[in-house]
């Protein structure tokens, strides 16, 4: 009989052991479940994530976690009702001491969970809605009512006298929690502690997600020709990702020609032209696990300035990849990247995100964050089982072009393995003349 998340809450070594066997090749299986090989073991994934959260909670000064961040809700409860809910602040989950998680979800979604999420106790699946970011006035009393309901659950589980951690919150809800007599502290750091080490199922999901973007880049390489617009590429890539099984296409940057320098972090209806340098970033999720995956592709031909910029961006990213292994400091990695001034920016804040590393998981930005802005004086240790992206950028000397490369890496016991596989050692030129 498969144990449910609602059963005994003693954390065992098996629950928190990521089970990563680095002697085997990293898997990127098909998106279907099959009976003839083990792919994603979702029960194991559910237990691992909840056990990691419980352990992080026990290691903190908090007695409970109250999460409004959709990434944390999914990590703790293994539930999701669609990307539409991400910015509505209408869902929340509570982990009180050693109790099973409580989930408040949008209307009839709660009834759906009682039927289809057997890892949650039916009595812990509640309908809930705080006011849709103020559309329902605070005076309606929804927030006050839920603050007292939350306090009652904390009292039932003997943790009402301990601080409760909250990740993100509307100010009126924070005030109602405090008026109910609760001490509210930050939960986001606790959740980041929980999420930083990926187990075998998370790594497999991240690898499948990366393989989907491999395919998208092959399509872009074939389609990138004069007359195609940036938004055309975004539309085709989005369609392709959903057809392959994506559950969220968060954003796709498509930047070409003179828009490359400085990097605008968006896309427009600009048509690509012969000789353009163009770069793209595909941010999407498969089963909640995200990609951040840049590639630069020239249109038809490339000049010397573009080739030089690409070569430099490649050298910077290779230098950082070569350093990645357990025990290395993020400051050591950041040191091999150029300063903001070397790239023509006044400060590291203006340059933030151009020479950059960030964790990947159920959120786009997890630990570790690697940047000259924060890593030199506040370094973090790179650990086995982390998964993160490394990205570099180099403006070209022609004053309009730029190269952007990003690789996702899995930290193994001895180094790292790159899982973003569309060829990028040399500058790709699509539909070469």
- What's the pLDDT tens digit per position in 248-267? 999 999 999 999 999 999 99
Distance CA 104, CA 407 (A): 37
Does residue 66 fall inside a structural domain?
yes
Domain match, 222 and 282 both: yes
Instruction: Note down the domain range covering 94.
Output: 13-195
Domain match, 329 and 401 both: yes
What share of residues in the chain are helix, strand, coil (percent, to 5)? 35, 20, 45
- What's the pLDDT tens digit per position in 33-54? 899 999 999 999 999 999 999 9
Domain match, 46 and 174 both: yes
Domain match, 116 and 261 both: no
* Cross-strand partners of 388: 359, 409
Does residue 178 fall inside a structural domain?
yes
Does residue 284 fall inside a structural domain?
yes
Q: Which of 195, 222, 252 is the last residue of a domain?
A: 195
Domain match, 182 and 273 both: no
Give 149's DSSP letter. Answer: H
Domain match, 136 and 273 both: no
Domain match, 240 and 111 both: no
pLDDT at 3: 42
* Cross-strand partners of 358: 389
CA 305, chain centre distance (Å): 34
pLDDT at 8: 45
- Return the CATH number at 392: 3.90.230.10
Residue 136 has pLDDT above 80, yes or no: yes
3-state secondary structure of 416: strand
Does residue 8 fall inside a structural domain?
no
Distance CA 203, CA 31 (A): 14
Does residue 257 fall inside a structural domain?
yes
- Return the CATH number at 85: 3.40.350.10
pLDDT at 156: 96
Q: Which of 319, 300, 284 is nearest to 405 (CA)?
A: 319
Q: What is the total count of domains within the chain?
A: 2
Q: Which of 177, 195, 213 is the last residue of a domain?
A: 195
DSSP result, 63-82: SEEEE--HHHHHHHH-----
* Mean pLDDT, residues 400-428 taken together: 98
Does residue 224 fall inside a structural domain?
yes
Residue 180 has pLDDT above 70, yes or no: yes
pLDDT at 207: 98
Residue 1 has pLDDT above 60, yes or no: no
- What's the pLDDT tens digit per position in 160-179? 999 999 999 999 999 999 99
Pairing of strands 293-299, 429-430: parallel
Does residue 39 fall inside a structural domain?
yes
Mean pLDDT of the chain: 95
| 42 token code pair | 């979702």
Does residue 3 fall inside a structural domain?
no
Domain match, 109 and 258 both: no
Domain match, 372 and 262 both: yes
- What's the pLDDT tens digit per position in 190-223? 999 999 999 999 999 999 999 999 999 999 999 9
pLDDT at 308: 98
pLDDT at 15: 86
* Mean pLDDT, residues 112-125 taken together: 97
Domain match, 206 and 73 both: no
pTM: 0.96
Domain match, 172 and 67 both: yes
pLDDT at 29: 95
Q: Which of 195, 215, 246 is the last residue of a domain?
A: 195
Domain match, 216 and 357 both: yes
* Mean pLDDT, residues 231-242 taken together: 98
């Amino acid at each position: 009989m498969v144990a449910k998340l609602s059963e005994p809450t003693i954390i065992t070594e098996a629950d928190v052991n990521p089970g990563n066997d680095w002697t085997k090749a990293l898997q990127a299986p098909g998106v279907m479940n099959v009976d003839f090989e083990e792919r994603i073991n979702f029960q194991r994934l559910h237990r691992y994530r909840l056990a990691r959260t419980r352990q992080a909670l026990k290691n903190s000064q908090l007695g409970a976690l109250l999460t409004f961040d959709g990434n944390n809700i999914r990590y703790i409860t293994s539930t999701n009702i669609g990307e539409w809910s991400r910015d509505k602040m209408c869902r929340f989950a509570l982990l009180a001491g050693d109790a099973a998680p409580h989930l408040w979800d949008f209307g009839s979604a709660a009834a759906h969970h009682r039927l289809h999420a057997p890892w949650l106790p039916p009595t812990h699946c509640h309908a809930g809605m705080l006011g849709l970011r103020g559309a329902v006035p605070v005076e309606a009393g929804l927030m006050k009512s839920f603050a007292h309901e939350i306090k009652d659950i904390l009292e039932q589980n003997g943790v009402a006298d301990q601080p409760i951690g909250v990740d993100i919150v509307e100010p009126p809800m924070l005030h109602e929690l405090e008026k109910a007599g609760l001490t509210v502290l930050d939960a986001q750091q606790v959740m980041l502690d929980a999420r930083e080490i990926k187990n075998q199922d998370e790594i497999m999901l991240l690898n499948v997600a990366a393989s989907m973007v491999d395919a998208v880049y092959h399509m872009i390489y074939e389609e990138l020709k004069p007359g195609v617009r940036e938004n055309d590429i975004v539309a085709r890539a989005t369609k392709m990702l959903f057809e392959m099984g994506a559950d969220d296409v968060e954003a796709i940057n498509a930047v070409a020609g003179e828009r490359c320098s400085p990097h605008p972090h968006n896309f427009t209806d600009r048509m690509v032209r012969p000789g353009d340098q163009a770069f793209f970033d595909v941010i999407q999720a498969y089963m909640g696990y995200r990609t951040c995956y840049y590639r630069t592709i020239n249109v038809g031909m490339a000049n010397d300035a573009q080739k030089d910029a690409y070569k430099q961006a490649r050298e910077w990213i290779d230098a950082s990849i070569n350093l990645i292994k357990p025990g290395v400091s993020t400051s050591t990695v950041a040191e091999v990247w150029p300063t903001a001034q070397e790239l023509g920016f006044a400060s590291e804040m203006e340059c933030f995100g151009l020479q950059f590393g960030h964790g990947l998981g159920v959120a786009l930005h997890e630990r570790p964050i690697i940047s000259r802005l924060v890593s030199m004086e506040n370094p973090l240790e790179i650990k086995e089982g982390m998964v993160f992206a490394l990205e570099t950028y180099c403006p070209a000397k022609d004053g309009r072009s730029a190269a952007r490369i990003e690789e996702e890496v899995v930290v193994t016991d001895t180094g790292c393995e790159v899982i973003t596989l569309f060829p990028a050692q040399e500058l790709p030129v699509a539909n070469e003349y």
